[in-house]
Amino acid sequence: MFLIGVYMNTIERTHPLLHPPTFYEELNRFWEDPAAVEDDWLAQLLVMLGLSHHMSRGVNITSDEEATLKKYFRGAETCLKSTIFLIAPNLVSLRTLCMMVLARRILASSCLELDACGPLMAVIMRSAIGIGLNVDPQHDISDSTTLFDREIRRKLWTTIALMGTSISVLTGTPFALRSSDINTQPPMNLNDTELSVSLQDYPIARPPTEFTDSTFSIIVAQSFRLAFDTVAHANSPSTHLSYEDVLIYSVKIKNLLLETSQLYHQSGSVPLEDWKQDQLFMLEIYLRRILLALHSIYGLRPNADVEYPISYWSTLESALALLVFQRQLSEDVNSPEGRVWLGEYYKHDFYAATLTICLIVTRNDAVAMDMKSSGSSQTNIEIPQRETILQTLIVCREIWARRICQTYCHFLSHMNLGTIIGSMVTFRGKQSTMCVEVYRQSLRDSLRMLKNCPCGNCPTDSTSVKGSFLNHPEYLAV
């Protein structure tokens, strides 16, 4: 039960897939008679245990712990294969697949593994649409679902759409949904204990300003119309939102950001509970990532600081905000009960934000020239000086070094960012004539970090990061 509790206080808080009271009833029945449960439910349980096992062990896991993880996930895969989830998906199989995507994102050792989440998430979304989750049951006069089922379907659809949006904006692949494709209502503002299978009439929803177990999902659902259209146009090779529409969308998303912060901080100076802080991080990162995708369409164009100043400065502002979140989520890497996993979940978004900042700073425009830009002041966006931005990039690069022995993704990100930042510092205002030397210096720096990794349990087999470099001449030289 300890591992289940870990899952409920981490993943379930930021990706609501279950109705916890119902799940605990099902779990008790499982312990009483393990043979009575369906294979898809058992697959769901095994993925939950695998994710919880990872959360409870911290970031740097031993080879034995990794072997245990694989047993959980392989067991889940075996159970799911024995069902007909592709032909006849149900709520349990959709939850299981969503959990598998979460596991892949959190534990991915390479960008290729992240790319594999896109096709799987597309299957999940199409399967969810296939069983009508994108259509609200109350609009179907022939629908016979119970009041309880309606709320469960709404909450599950909200999480599936959230995950699909996040992966699409990250990978840049065409987005499958338009805002006109759905009419599913947000969940009611209720606590989980107020919902049960025996409900005959809808309970009275709590006021919108009252925080409940459904608050997170309600805020996410409120963002969908803006988020869907933003991602669909941002990833489209042929159509884009007009600059005027971008500014309108931007105001609405920023208002939602403000309302979210006010709702979570309505108790004043009282510190948030850990799970509430996790939710707030999740919502702010998600909305900032949507803002970055929205403004990048115009903000990264040549002469954007002159022709599209609001998008130019908003692109930089959103990217810098994401790096602030990266630092906050990575402050205590040794705490098993910390939120480092959330930083791992969003690490590729942070990397994209870092590259966006590098691109803007290296251009011969307002930021690169260290101008106290009138454009920035006119748009009421506060942007730090170039040197401060560079220091932020250097600090965030070192975050990638903390797991440099664990995944190739961390090693290559650390090395590539070192090369880019080194070039920005060395070649400012000059033509690059020493690119190879900057690259070699960055490689040596990353290999030095790998060789002196402080985790204490670096894997050294031939397939590991450290094992693949043990005989490299640069590794031996540092």
* Alpha carbons 14 and 380: distance in angstroms, whole number: 31
User: What are the φ/ψ torsions at residue 241 (nearest 5 degrees)?
Assistant: -65, 145
pLDDT for residue 178: 79
Residues 249-279 pLDDT 10s: 999 999 999 999 999 998 777 788 889 999 9
Residue 148: Cβ within 10 Å count: 15
pLDDT for residue 46: 97
**What are the structure tokens assigned to 393, written together?**
């990039």
Residues 173 and 155: beta-carbon distance below 8 Å: no
* Alpha carbons 315 and 256: distance in angstroms, whole number: 18
Residue 332: Cβ within 10 Å count: 10
pTM of the model: 0.92
CA 332 remoteness from chain centre = 19
* Alpha carbons 362 and 368: distance in angstroms, whole number: 6
Residues 224 and 258: beta-carbon distance below 8 Å: no
Any idea what DSSP says for residue 192?
G
Amino acid at 330: S
Query: How many CA within 13 A on the CB side of residue 389?
Result: 28
pLDDT for residue 472: 86
pLDDT for residue 367: 62
**What are the structure tokens assigned to 127, written together?**
């399967």
pLDDT for residue 475: 87
Residues 28-51 pLDDT 10s: 999 999 998 999 999 999 999 999
pLDDT for residue 324: 93
Residues 176 and 126: beta-carbon distance below 8 Å: yes
**What are the structure tokens assigned to 109, written together?**
């050792």
pLDDT for residue 139: 59
In order along the chain (478 residues), what is the average pLDDT of each group of 10 residues? 90 96 96 93 96 79 81 95 93 97 82 79 94 81 75 96 94 82 91 89 88 96 95 90 96 96 86 90 97 95 91 95 92 58 90 94 67 54 84 92 85 93 74 73 92 81 86 86
